[in-house]
């Protein structure tokens, strides 16, 4: 089998884990404790082993490692509905937290736990027959998900040089900031994602908030935002979990979506976006679904659509959808998408169809795209970084925790170059 | 669940009076009996109690003990605490001496202070050893008296020497002639500032001058007493520590270290001020409630900050707002806070310094409340006032003999005064740099100067760079 190991790091990473595994369990007809629901056939036609490890009594255990430097979120998962789901030995929780400081997550606190984390990961990998790679969920603006997440990425790449590493990375939003040092944390983490990951889906809280607000018709909370992330993750991984033809493994994702080395930062869109519990009430026809899937304000990062072009894109439609509908409608949508001039006109957009829709949905659409406008996300962070860095704001916290100004400057230059390489690819 | 543990050390008359009322409030918030440290049989204390309380034994049976060390060089306040707190505190952690510090920094720092230091460090070490993880040490003291200023400085220095990794937050009550008992307060404060500036990780200022006005105007008290001011301080301290004691909604505790990461942009710029809302008189809070929008307006109002200055006239370097008990109003609060942010004089070189925390658990006297923690350059005005009073006395060497007799020399005194001036200057430099480059910054963002090269911003930062080295 081609198993995938999910690694959830930090508060945000584990909150997403909570939502993500909830969805995945339902899609595979499992209870919150990982046992097959009576009369459910959902597990029969799925590649269960990719995301679950089956133990003797017929229970399925997620191939997941939960790591946090603050125990709160994990404690809540363990005391909630899914209390029996995760393997106790795959959870690493420590105090005192990284205090919003990448350097503490990477050096001070990270070094204390990294051996244990890698041990847990190695043990989980040993339970696989043919691991294809890793998924990491984390935020890049905080301390644990960013700093410890970066350290884990480095060690993963060292220990498993041939395996694919994908991240779902929550980026600081342009308007709402969670902490003063987000630009530093984000730039330092992006450098590690650039160097050590094969692909990263960038999700920004601001965009998620905007989408949630527009679609839920009420003020969204973090749970809603994490739910959107979970829906996207579920659909990105659907092609790995259910039989199909497109993007059936992580290698194929990389081949289809990454035209130049290093340009592996994606943004995603999920449709139809509905308030939880109301998914089934609206049954959209395919043209509407396809249009919403590729609507610019449905994407989860602050992309510069005007200046940029599509480098690559793939779409997955799930549920009761006819191939004929897809072929007819997508031809016109493809024409509207502004692809880079040097991309083959028909080749840039890959389409797939899967029978199983997410729980509660009749049909759904997912777009995963590599668009050069993502440079805007990096440019904004670099410019915030510069203003603070040049004025020595907050750098003492990093130096005190073993991250020199040179190290920070080199991360900054990597990401400025990354932005430039995206702009040059336009 | 293991959490970060915080130890509270209170020093001197004001420090211990505040601490006594602070611990009483904490007991009430966590459902612990303030006279015995016990809880109702079969129940558990509310929230992450172990952040501020320890417990003997593994579970259930033992009572809950504040992680507190109280020190005074004279006996009256400690005796009062002993007689009014039942068996709440560990008696070994209530340390006092007979002779007092005579309102003299030098006595607290070198004379009687040195003598009591080993016993106090012993108790601090004992408390630190009991912690799963030391999240921070909060020192509550006034800078006007001899014990709070002198012994406070000495103890902070000793703690940082032995435990350099533990974040130390000084909560310093600054003197005001309105409620003053000691004429040498300006001396003591200026001398203490040197240690607070060089050794403490951050210093939260409670300015009695402002608190007196607040108690007078907002609480309608004709002539407020120290007790009234201490109540205000207690409300703020309970609000500030709430995020360390209770889990928020989806966010978990905000540790002291995390607050400091966000609030201290440069090592020398670590003097914070705070504000609390609502400032409804305590006896009316049961009947009147303030809306969240008004609370946010009031937090940033020049007249309600706990320091005698006008933050809106200065520049905000960093800001944290902590909500309590307003989960359903959070979207509204966020929106009005975002609107408020637009109006604030922010510092252009710190674009993202705005931390928000929220805790579901209400405080004792208000169902909904908020605390503002701000690093604002107007703190220079407060420090300048103290220095001005210092200079008036020092010009004539008035009362200087008390310090000289205790072994300080004039050179030292001049150097300590100069150190306070440097602190004021660093905030003045920060204020100027935050304003003047604003237009420059906009032009840079517009032209998107990439890949380094001749960056105009680099020239504007020279003075700030000097500051960093100066510490």
pLDDT per residue as tens digits for the range B202-241:
999 999 999 999 999 999 889 889 999 999 999 999 999 9
The residue in chain A having the minimum alpha-carbon distance to the alpha carbon of residue B136 is A96
How many CB atoms sit inside 10 A of residue B322's CB?
23
Distances (CA, A) of B199 to B166, B267, B364: 12, 10, 34
Contacts of B359 in chain A (CB under 8 A): none
B261 with A176: Cβ contact below 8 A: no
Q: Are strands B53-55 and A363-371 parallel, antiparallel or unpaired?
A: unpaired
Q: Check if the beta carbon of residue B230 is closer than 8 Å to that of residue B312.
A: no
* Ramachandran category for residue B197: left, alpha or beta (phi over 0 → left; psi -120 to 50 → alpha): alpha
Q: Check if the beta carbon of residue A273 is closer than 8 Å to that of residue A217.
A: no
CA dist B79 and B77 (Å) reads: 5
A46 phi and psi, to 5 degrees?
-115, 155
> Which of helix, strand or coil describes residue B464?
helix
A188 against A363, higher pLDDT: A188
- How does DSSP classify residue B63? P
A388 with B441: Cβ contact below 8 A: no
Is residue B59 over pLDDT 60? no
pLDDT reported for residue A101 = 95
Is residue B315 over pLDDT 60? yes
The two three-digit tokens of residue A294, written as one number:
């590729």
Q: How confident is the model at residue A276 (pLDDT cuts 50, 70, 90)?
A: low
Of the candidates A386, A396, A392, the residue with the CA atom closest to the CA atom of residue A419: A386
Q: What is the mean pLDDT of residues B32-61?
A: 83
pLDDT reported for residue B149 = 96
B262 with A97: Cβ contact below 8 A: no
B351 with A143: Cβ contact below 8 A: no
Of the candidates B73, B75, B86, the residue with the CA atom closest to the CA atom of residue B152: B73
Q: What percent of chain B has pLDDT over 70?
A: 90
CA dist A220 and A283 (Å) reads: 23
Query: Among positive and negative, which fits the CA dihedral B69, B72, B78, B80?
Result: negative
pLDDT reported for residue B21 = 95
CA dist A280 and A275 (Å) reads: 10
pLDDT reported for residue B438 = 45
Mutate to test the interface with A, among B47, B254, B258 (most CBs of A within 10 A): B258
Of the candidates A294, A145, A295, A258, the residue with the CA atom closest to the CA atom of residue A205: A145
In A142-244, where do the E strands start and end?
164-171, 199-204
Contacts of A100 in chain B (CB under 8 A): 258, 261-262
CA dist B462 and A391 (Å) reads: 8
- Residue B117 host element (H or E): helix B112-130
The active-site residue, picked from B29, B74, B258, B406, is B258
How many CB atoms sit inside 10 A of residue B32's CB?
24
Each residue of B164-191: pLDDT tens digit?
999 999 999 999 878 777 889 999 999 9
Each residue of A60-89: pLDDT tens digit?
999 999 999 887 888 888 888 888 899 989
Each residue of B157-170: pLDDT tens digit?
999 999 999 999 99
DSSP, residue by residue, A234-260: HHHHHHHHS--SSS-SHHHHHHHH-SS
Flag whether residue A185 sits within 8 Å of chain B, measured between CB atoms: no
B454 against A404, higher pLDDT: A404
Query: Nearest-CA distance from A420 to chain B in Å?
Result: 8
B250 with A222: Cβ contact below 8 A: yes
Q: Check if the beta carbon of residue B307 is closer than 8 Å to that of residue B207.
A: yes
B133 with A180: Cβ contact below 8 A: no
Is residue B448 over pLDDT 90? no
Is residue B293 over pLDDT 60? yes
pLDDT reported for residue B169 = 97
A100 with B261: Cβ contact below 8 A: yes
The two three-digit tokens of residue B104, written as one number:
């003299």
A182 with B352: Cβ contact below 8 A: yes
The residue in chain B having the minimum alpha-carbon distance to the alpha carbon of residue A172 is B352
Q: Which residues contact A83 (CB under 8 A, 6 or more apart)?
A: A77
Q: What is the mean pLDDT of residues B133-152?
A: 95
Q: What percent of chain A has pLDDT over 70?
A: 94
Each residue of B124-140: pLDDT tens digit?
999 999 998 999 999 99
**Cα–chain-centroid distance for residue B10?**
12
Residue appearing with tokens 């209170």: B10
pLDDT reported for residue B406 = 92
Query: Nearest-CA distance from A96 to chain B in Å?
Result: 6
CA dist B250 and A142 (Å) reads: 14
DSSP, residue by residue, A279-316: GGG----HHHHHHHHT-GGGBSS---TTT--EEEEEEE
Active site residues of A: 252
- Residue A24 host element (H or E): helix A10-27
Is residue A248 over pLDDT 90? no
pLDDT reported for residue A329 = 86
- Which residue of A71, A172, A396 is in closest CB contact with B267? A396
Query: Nearest-CA distance from B267 to chain A in Å?
Result: 7
Is residue A8 over pLDDT 80? yes
How many CB atoms sit inside 10 A of residue B126's CB?
13
Is residue B385 over pLDDT 60? yes
CA dist B1 and B112 (Å) reads: 41
> Which of helix, strand or coil describes residue B471?
coil
- A130 burial via Cβ count (<10 Å: 0-12, 13-18, 19+): exposed
Q: Which range among A62-76, A279-293, A325-339, B440-454 shows the weakest confidence by mean pLDDT?
A: B440-454
Q: Which residues contact A16 (CB under 8 A, 6 or more apart)?
A: A8, A137, A168, A170, A226, A229, A230, A233
A394 with B266: Cβ contact below 8 A: yes
**Cα–chain-centroid distance for residue B264?**
13
pLDDT reported for residue B41 = 79
Q: CA-based angle A8:A14:A17, to the nearest 5? A: 80
A96 with B464: Cβ contact below 8 A: no
pLDDT reported for residue B248 = 65
How far apart, in Å, do the first and last CA atoms of chain A sit?
39
Is residue A54 over pLDDT 60? yes
pLDDT reported for residue B57 = 66
Query: Nearest-CA distance from A142 to chain B in Å?
Result: 10
How many CB atoms sit inside 10 A of residue A136's CB?
25
Contacts of B331 in chain A (CB under 8 A): 219
Q: Check if the beta carbon of residue B252 is closer than 8 Å to that of residue A11.
A: yes
Q: How confident is the model at residue B284 (pLDDT cuts 50, 70, 90)?
A: confident
Contacts of B251 in chain A (CB under 8 A): 11
A158 against B335, higher pLDDT: A158
How many CB atoms sit inside 10 A of residue A210's CB?
18
Is residue B15 over pLDDT 60? yes
Q: Which of residues 34-63 of A touch B (CB under 8 A)?
A: none
pLDDT reported for residue A42 = 57
CA dist B283 and B274 (Å) reads: 23
The residue in chain A having the minimum alpha-carbon distance to the alpha carbon of residue B469 is A392
Asked, as a colleague might, if the bond just before B340 is cis with ω within 30 of 0, I would say no
B348 with A387: Cβ contact below 8 A: yes
CA dist B204 and B142 (Å) reads: 11
Each residue of B345-383: pLDDT tens digit?
999 888 888 888 888 888 888 888 999 999 999 999 999
Q: Which of residues 3-22 of A touch B (CB under 8 A)?
A: 11, 15
Residue appearing with tokens 């200087």: B400
CA dist B211 and B219 (Å) reads: 11
Each residue of A192-235: pLDDT tens digit?
999 999 999 999 887 888 888 887 777 777 788 888 999 999 99
> Which of helix, strand or coil describes residue A264?
coil
Is residue A189 over pLDDT 90? yes
A177 against B250, higher pLDDT: A177
DSSP, residue by residue, B438-461: HHHHHHHHHHT--SSSS-THHHHT
Q: Which residues contact A413 (CB under 8 A, 6 or more apart)?
A: B452
Q: Check if the beta carbon of residue B53 is closer than 8 Å to that of residue B30.
A: yes
- Which residue of B250, B251, B266 is in closest CB contact with A392? B266
A215 against B276, higher pLDDT: B276
Q: Which range among A341-355, A383-397, B25-39 shows the weakest confidence by mean pLDDT?
A: A341-355
Mutate to test the interface with A, among B166, B352, B434 (most CBs of A within 10 A): B352
pLDDT reported for residue B457 = 35
CA dist B103 and B211 (Å) reads: 22
> Which of helix, strand or coil describes residue A327?
helix
CA dist B26 and B228 (Å) reads: 18
Contacts of A413 in chain B (CB under 8 A): 452
Q: Check if the beta carbon of residue B231 is closer than 8 Å to that of residue B21.
A: yes
Q: What percent of chain A has pLDDT over 90?
A: 58
Each residue of A111-134: pLDDT tens digit?
999 999 999 999 999 999 999 999
A258 phi and psi, to 5 degrees?
-115, 95
* Ramachandran category for residue A252: left, alpha or beta (phi over 0 → left; psi -120 to 50 → alpha): alpha
Distances (CA, A) of A42 to A20, A242, A357: 17, 10, 11
Q: How confident is the model at residue B455 (pLDDT cuts 50, 70, 90)?
A: very low
**Cα–chain-centroid distance for residue A380?**
20
Of the candidates A109, A370, A354, A73, the residue with the CA atom closest to the CA atom of residue A237: A354
């Amino acid at each position: 089998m081609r198993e995938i190991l999910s690694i959830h790091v930090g508060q945000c990473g584990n909150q997403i884990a909570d939502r993500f595994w909830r969805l995945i369990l339902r899609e595979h007809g499992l209870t919150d404790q990982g046992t097959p629901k009576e009369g459910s056939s959902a597990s029969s036609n799925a590649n269960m082993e990719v995301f679950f490890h089956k133990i003797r009594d017929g229970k399925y255990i997620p191939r997941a490692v939960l790591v946090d430097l603050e125990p709160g979120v994990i404690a809540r998962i363990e005391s909630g509905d899914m209390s029996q789901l995760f393997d106790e030995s795959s959870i690493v929780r420590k105090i005192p937290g990284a205090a919003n400081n990448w350097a503490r997550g990477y050096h001070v606190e990270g070094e204390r736990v990294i051996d244990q984390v890698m041990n847990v990961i190695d043990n989980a990998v040993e339970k696989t027959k043919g691991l294809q790679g890793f998924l990491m969920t984390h935020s890049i603006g905080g301390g644990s998900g960013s700093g410890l997440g970066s350290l884990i990425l480095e060690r993963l790449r060292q220990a498993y040089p041939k395996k694919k590493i994908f991240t779902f990375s929550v980026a600081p939003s342009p308007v709402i900031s969670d902490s003063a040092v987000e630009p530093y944390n984000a730039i330092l983490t992006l450098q590690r994602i650039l160097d050590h990951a094969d692909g990263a889906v960038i999700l920004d809280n601001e965009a998620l908030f905007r989408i949630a607000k527009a679609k839920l018709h009420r003020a969204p909370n973090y749970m809603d935002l994490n739910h959107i992330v979970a829906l996207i993750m579920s659909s990105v991984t659907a092609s790995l979990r259910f039989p199909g033809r497109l993007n059936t493994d992580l290698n194929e994702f990389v081949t289809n979506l990454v035209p130049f080395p290093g340009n592996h930062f994606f943004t995603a869109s999920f449709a139809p976006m509905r308030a939880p519990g109301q998914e089934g009430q609206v049954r959209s026809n395919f043209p509407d679904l396809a249009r919403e899937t590729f609507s610019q304000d449905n994407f989860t990062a602050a992309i510069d659509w005007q200046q940029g072009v599509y480098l690559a894109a793939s779409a997955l439609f799930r549920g009761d959808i006819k191939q004929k509908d897809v072929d007819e409608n997508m031809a016109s949508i493809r024409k509207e998408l502004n692809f880079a001039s040097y991309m083959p006109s028909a080749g840039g957009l890959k389409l797939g169809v899967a029978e199983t829709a997410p729980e509660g949905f009749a049909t759904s659409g997912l777009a995963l795209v590599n668009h050069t406008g993502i440079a805007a996300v990096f440019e904004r962070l670099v410019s915030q970084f510069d203003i603070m860095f040049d004025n020595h704001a907050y750098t003492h916290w990093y130096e005190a925790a073993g991250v020199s100004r040179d190290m920070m400057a080199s991360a900054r230059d990597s990401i400025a170059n990354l932005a430039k390489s995206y702009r040059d690819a336009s | 669940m293991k959490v970060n543990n915080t130890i509270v050390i209170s020093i001197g008359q004001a420090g211990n009076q505040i601490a006594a009322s602070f611990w009483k409030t904490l007991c009430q918030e966590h459902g612990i009996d303030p006279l015995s440290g016990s809880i109702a049989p079969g129940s558990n204390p509310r929230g992450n109690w172990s952040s501020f309380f320890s417990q003997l034994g593994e579970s259930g049976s033992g009572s809950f003990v504040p992680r507190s060390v109280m020190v005074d060089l004279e006996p009256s306040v400690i005796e009062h605490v002993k007689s009014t707190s039942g068996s709440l505190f560990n008696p070994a952690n209530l340390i006092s001496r007979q002779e007092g510090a005579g309102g003299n920094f030098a006595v607290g720092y070198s004379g009687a202070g040195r003598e009591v230091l080993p016993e106090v460090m012993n108790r601090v070490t004992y408390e630190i050893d009991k912690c799963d993880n030391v999240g921070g040490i909060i020192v509550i003291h006034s800078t006007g008296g001899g014990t709070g200023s002198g012994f406070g400085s000495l103890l902070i220095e000793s703690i940082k020497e032995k435990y350099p990794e533990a974040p130390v937050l000084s909560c310093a009550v600054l003197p005001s002639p309105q409620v003053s008992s000691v004429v040498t307060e300006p001396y003591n404060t200026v001398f203490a500032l040197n240690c607070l500036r060089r050794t403490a990780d951050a210093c939260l200022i409670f300015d009695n001058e402002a608190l007196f006005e607040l108690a007078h105007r907002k609480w309608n008290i004709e002539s407020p007493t120290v007790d009234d001011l201490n109540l205000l301080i207690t409300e703020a301290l309970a609000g500030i520590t709430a995020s360390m004691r209770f889990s928020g909604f989806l966010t978990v505790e905000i540790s002291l270290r995390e607050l400091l990461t966000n609030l201290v942009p440069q090592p020398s710029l670590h003097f914070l001020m705070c504000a609390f809302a609502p400032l409804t008189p305590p006896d009316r809070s049961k009947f009147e409630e303030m809306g969240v929008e008004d609370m946010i307006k009031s937090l940033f109002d020049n007249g309600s900050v706990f320091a005698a200055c006008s933050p809106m006239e200065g520049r905000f370097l960093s800001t944290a707002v902590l909500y309590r008990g307003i989960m359903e109003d959070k979207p509204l609060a966020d929106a009005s806070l975002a609107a408020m942010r637009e109006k604030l004089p922010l510092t252009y070189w710190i674009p993202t310094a705005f931390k928000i925390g929220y805790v579901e658990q209400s405080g004792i006297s208000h169902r909904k409340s908020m605390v503002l923690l701000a690093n604002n350059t107007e703190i220079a005005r407060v420090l300048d006032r103290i220095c001005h009073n210092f200079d008036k006395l020092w010009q004539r060497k008035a009362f200087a003999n008390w310090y000289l007799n205790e072994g300080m020399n004039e050179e030292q005194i001049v150097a300590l005064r100069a150190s306070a001036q440097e602190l004021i200057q660093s905030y003045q430099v920060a204020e100027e740099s935050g304003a003047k480059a604003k237009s420059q910054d906009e032009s840079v963002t517009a032209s998107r100067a990439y890949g380094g090269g001749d960056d105009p911003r680099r020239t504007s930062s020279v003075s700030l760079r000097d500051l960093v080295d100066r510490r």
